[in-house]
Amino acid sequence: MAIARYKKACLDAIDPDLVGRFWANALGLRWQPYPHGEGGVFGAGPDPVIWVNRVPDPKVVKHRVHLDVYAASIADLEALGSTVVRAEGAGRPWTVLADPEGGEYCAFLRDEPPPDRLHGLVVDCADPVAQATWWAAVFGAAAEHDRRGFSAVTGIPGMPIGSLDFVPVPEPKTVKNRIHWDLAVADPGALLDAGAILLRAPGGDVSWHVLADPEGNEFCAFTDR
């Protein structure tokens, strides 16, 4: 049984309008700015696929959480404001790029990209099997593991992204992730019982719980009423 349901991905940006417009154009979706300076990238549904938060701090380390996308050409992404970090090759069927604020993401080329261009939400970690197993239990979904050491959670209800992927890296997490995801949950205590860490309880201008998973990746839990 699922503990929580997926709501949306959230990106931190110094200039939400710049980053939001980029991602809307890259994904063939619609950017909707709001008066307070933040905004959402919307598809056909009423809820944002990506929410872009305003933060004062610039990116200082490689993204520990990033997006994988399908695209028709790298040139199209460069025209939108991307820069190539590492070209496809050496056994990698993807190109590593950076968005207009330097946030890394990976592009998989297709002659005809699918309508849903978000291929994966990818998390660097120390133990992909443990991470995928934990998140699969949270979402009531399936965990898959391959011989390369990669793990994924697939079939997450309501998630407009193909999979939640976990890849092994040698370096530890050092700063707050600039990309996280939001959940809806009936009882935040169930997440704590499962092993989540409480970083901030609701209070002041925050009406949700800020938590971290067993490897310290931040996420937000909204009470599902």
pLDDT of residue 89 exceeding 70, the answer is yes
Give, as one character, the DSSP assignment of residue 59: P
In whole angstroms, give the CA distance from residue 169 to residue 128. Answer: 9
pLDDT value of residue 23: 98
pLDDT value of residue 118: 96
Q: What is the mean pLDDT of residues 70-86?
A: 98
* pLDDT tens column, 120-179: 999 999 999 999 999 999 999 999 999 999 999 999 999 999 999 999 999 999 999 999
In whole angstroms, give the CA distance from residue 13 to residue 55. Answer: 6
Any idea what the CATH number is for the domain that residue 37 is in?
Answer: 3.10.180.10
Q: What is the mean pLDDT of residues 104-116?
A: 96
pLDDT value of residue 205: 87
Exposure of 112 by Cβ count < 10 A (0-12 exposed, 13-18 middle, 19+ buried)? exposed
pLDDT of residue 225 exceeding 70, the answer is no
pLDDT value of residue 1: 85
Beta carbons of 115 and 176 less than 8 angstroms apart: no
Mean pLDDT value across the chain: 96
Query: Within 13 Å and on the Cβ side, how many CA atoms surround 51?
Result: 17
Q: What is the mean pLDDT of residues 63-81?
A: 98
pTM: 0.95
Q: Which domain holds residue 98?
A: 4-223
pLDDT of residue 90 exceeding 90, the answer is no
Counted domains in the chain: 1
∠ CA 137-176-108, rounded to 5°: 70
* pLDDT tens column, 39-59: 999 999 999 999 999 999 999
Residue with tokens 């929410």: 51
Exposure of 71 by Cβ count < 10 A (0-12 exposed, 13-18 middle, 19+ buried)? buried
